[in-house]
Chains A and B, each alone.
Chain A
Amino acid sequence: MSAARALAGSLPFAGLRVVELCDTPAGEQLGKLVADLGGEVVKVEPPGGVASRRHGPFRTGPDGVPTEESLAFVAYNSSKRSVVLDDGEAGRALRDRLVAGADVLLTTGSPRELAAAGLDLDALVEQHERLVVVSTSPFGLTGPWKDYLTSDLVGLAAGGPLASCGYDDHSIPPILPGGGQAFQTAASFGYCGLLLALIEREQSGRGQLVDVSMHEANAVSGELANPYWFYPKAIVQRQTCRHAQPVPTQPALFQCADDVWVYFALILAEQRSWKALVAWMDEVGLADDLGDPAYDDLAHRQANFPHVQEMLDVFFMLQTSEDAYSEGQRRGLPIGPLRAFEDLPHDEHLVARSFFVDVADDDGTVTTLPGLPYRFSAFAAEPGPAPRLGADQGLVTA
């Protein structure tokens, strides 16, 4: 069974047996989403473990010295089981037996890598009628680029989102958004693909092969970029921490008295927002001439925008980001502080929703993890700990 903790109801993946042969977060995150909702996800690792066990950040021990436990592994592998199989004949036979008894197989290899590992996904779904195979590979299982190599940076570059991210100053190259998002976008579609296939299996009794391409997943996730090309044939240009657009727009980041930046996009054309902003500035004595009725006219606001921007810089510089956030939001303005990770556990809203959860390992080590990304009235769960290497070896030798 899954190491997730069921809090209410019957979990949708309870009883679902999943074999995970994944070496990137595109598949590992997908496996985590299934394991956290009750699926028994058996992660098959080579001797020494999967790649994510070998790079940091590593957990700091009680003595302040890093241990060998990778937090990259913890992040993507909660609630799973782990078995170790070598790539010899005996190891492959055990792997094939695991797959034969599974409902779902998850892979991340390219066609060349799958072939080298002796995995023929088409043959597997032929052989096992109810098996659902979800391949979340770098470029998909077919096509001229099917064996191209990828990484998070390469995936975001080739897929398009990277072209929209970076600074106004275009002598600086596009900048990689953090957190492994090329893989995360592939994982999201892998998850939807798996769910569609499970619904299909519930209706027809048949499994199938779901071929998810990380490259395509990113190529359909550029938000405005593709419609701007599909319709007016315009190319959007990257702009600091705000929407890439065909033309430059005004800055949207403001630094506050506590050195924290806030995001606030003043849409000049919105009369209501303009009035709310000026009323707020006026109350703290910083509206200066912006209350002049001439500014009621959009054209005047546009013509004097550099002045407006200067006034806003001062306005935000004289208050803390938390004050700007709460007061701006109270006035109906879409303002948000650029939270750093250490701010998140103290966010009053997240605290009130009991979002973060403390997960205890069997040796008592406690790890704070984000809670599930959705809430259901019918069932609820908390993630369980990530497995130690080979912790569930009994599943293959028994």
Chain B
Amino acid sequence: MEQQLDPRSPARRSGLLSGIRVADFCWMGVGSVATRMLADFGAEVIKIEDRTRLDMPRRLPIYKGDLRSYGEEDPNPDPNKGGLFNNYCRNKLGVTINMRTPEGKELCERLIASSSVVTENFAPGVMERWGLTYDTVKEIRPDVIMARMSGYGHDGPHSGHKSYGPVIQAVCGLSFNSGLAGREPSGWGLSYMDNQAAYYNSAALLLAIYHRMLTGEGGEIDVSAVEVGINLLGPDLLDTLVNQRPSRRADFPRGNRLEFEGAAPHGVYPASGADEWVAVAVFDDRAWESLVEVLGSPDWATDPNLATVAGRVARQDDLDAHLSQWTKNFDKHDLMHRLQAAGVPAGAVQNSRDLAEVDAQIAHRGTFFELDHPVIGPALFEGNPMSFSRTEQHNWRSAPLLGEDNDYVFGELLGLSADERADLTDRGAI
């Protein structure tokens, strides 16, 4: 009789990074998302966890069919139930090691010796306390790539500061940059820098892997999320740095308008329904003429003063008032499609339900995909927004249960016998 294979058992990975093993100390958002890209493309990413200090996304109460705010966290959560952890850790292996025991530390060093990439995003000092600096890791594995991801980078007077997305966004200028002039900034309604710092950390890891393929040389990576954020500020930053024009001024930030690209109307307008909106961005005369046609050429819009960009920019308040009166009668998706069909850049302000259930483009591209999970059941995942003509994303499993791959990793990969593993478990090292 043919033996039934457990679909969750770590099979041989496929994909272009399948030869690469990663000892992954990352947790929270930035680190987990950064190493997820390696796991998506075949790397054997071994997530190292501590049973007594659960990764926050295992605790945060994003549960299937059970709506709770962050304040309603279960004091003794099922670590395998968290949706956010599932989202961040798909395609990874999971082991538990207690680094506060000598046996745990030794086990970790054996794992690093059989890996060629080490990743971490602890507060500075944690890896040092364990004796796992680049210099010591390099002795175990000379061509190792060691990626360190933190809020502020690993040197400098603020390297020990507490940081998470919104603090980084504040300190790098991305929060001040957003809002209506004359009132408090509206900033970001998400940890945007958890995403962007993660993406730049993925890129840094891929860069180091590419460099090692070309030269055989490993190395240490130090990414500061604040410095990534400053790299994303664009031309406004240079207006200040080069022209000495302060950004703390009466007409900044600009809300939904643009100062330099001469766009009008340019804004977010009400659609039918409660708190439903559509974005419209008219950059040139051709798009304006198309918009006027869709509007049915009302008198206010055919005013010859509005035929030029300068004329429209001068009358932005008027344009916004008129356009809002019209848009509020229509469904946001209908508006988007009508305006796009006429050649006017427009987008419904979509929420996550729209993305998952209404958006025909997301559906066509297969951006979201489903994987089963032993505790959670089937769930949707956010895929990668790149389609390759050769390279394949290998989605083999949802996120690991806590310690799910201890036997495989410590037994098959590191060669420990069942007795040795049982002994380490008794000693509290696993």
A211 within 8 A of B: yes
- Of residues 154 through 186 on chain A, the ones whose CB sits less than 8 Å from some CB of chain B are 154-167, 170, 172-181, 184-186
- Check A12 against B283 for contact (C-beta < 8 Å): no
- Check A342 against B248 for contact (C-beta < 8 Å): yes
B214 within 8 A of A: yes
- Of residues 351 through 403 on chain B, the ones whose CB sits less than 8 Å from some CB of chain A are 351-356, 359-362, 364-365, 367-368, 376, 379-391
- Check A167 against B186 for contact (C-beta < 8 Å): yes
B203 within 8 A of A: yes
- Check B351 against A175 for contact (C-beta < 8 Å): no
A56 within 8 A of B: yes
Distance in Å: Cβ of A164 to nearest Cβ of chain B: 4
Q: Of B171, B243, B260, B275, which contacts A55 at CB under 8 A?
A: B260
Residues of B close to A202: CB separation below 8 A: 210, 213-214
- Check A162 against B349 for contact (C-beta < 8 Å): yes
Partner-contacting stretch, out of A101-109, A233-241, A283-291, A390-398:
A233-241
Residue in chain A with minimal CB distance to B207: A12
Instruction: Kindly count the residue-residue contacts between A and B in the assembled complex, taking CB atoms under 8 Å apart.
Output: 536
**CA gap between A234 and B222 in the complex, in Å:** 37
- Check A208 against B388 for contact (C-beta < 8 Å): yes
Partner-contacting stretch, out of A42-50, A84-92, A141-149, A307-315:
A141-149
Residues of B close to A122: CB separation below 8 A: 389
- Check B355 against A219 for contact (C-beta < 8 Å): yes
- Of residues 159 through 188 on chain B, the ones whose CB sits less than 8 Å from some CB of chain A are 159, 161-180, 184-188
Distance in Å: Cβ of B21 to nearest Cβ of chain A: 16
Residues of B close to A116: CB separation below 8 A: none
The proximity string for B residues 337-353 relative to A, scoring 1 for CB distances below 8 Å and 0 otherwise, is 00010011111111111
**CA gap between A57 and B239 in the complex, in Å:** 6
Q: If A55-B260, A339-B171 touch, does A241 touch B223 (CB 8 Å cutoff)?
A: no
Instruction: Name the prevailing secondary structure of the B interface residues.
Output: mixed
- Check B186 against A175 for contact (C-beta < 8 Å): yes
B79 within 8 A of A: no
Residue in chain A with minimal CB distance to B357: A229
A200 within 8 A of B: yes
B27 within 8 A of A: no
A304 within 8 A of B: no
Q: If A175-B179, A208-B391 touch, does A198 touch B221 (CB 8 Å cutoff)?
A: no
Partner-contacting stretch, out of B59-67, B106-114, B300-308:
B59-67
- Check A192 against B221 for contact (C-beta < 8 Å): no
Query: Can you list 20 pairs linking A and B with CB atoms under 8 Å apart?
Result: A12-B211, A143-B360, A145-B361, A148-B340, A174-B349, A184-B232, A186-B385, A188-B200, A192-B203, A199-B16, A219-B355, A226-B380, A229-B351, A232-B63, A235-B352, A263-B166, A338-B187, A344-B172, A376-B207, A378-B208
B130 within 8 A of A: no
Residues of B close to A271: CB separation below 8 A: none
- Check B389 against A125 for contact (C-beta < 8 Å): yes
Residues of B close to A140: CB separation below 8 A: 361, 365, 385, 387
**CA gap between A131 and B199 in the complex, in Å:** 24
B242 within 8 A of A: yes
- Check A235 against B353 for contact (C-beta < 8 Å): yes
B409 within 8 A of A: no
**CA gap between A37 and B200 in the complex, in Å:** 14
- Check A220 against B71 for contact (C-beta < 8 Å): no
Residue in chain A with minimal CB distance to B158: A349
**CA gap between A242 and B217 in the complex, in Å:** 42
- Check B67 against A246 for contact (C-beta < 8 Å): yes
**CA gap between A200 and B386 in the complex, in Å:** 15
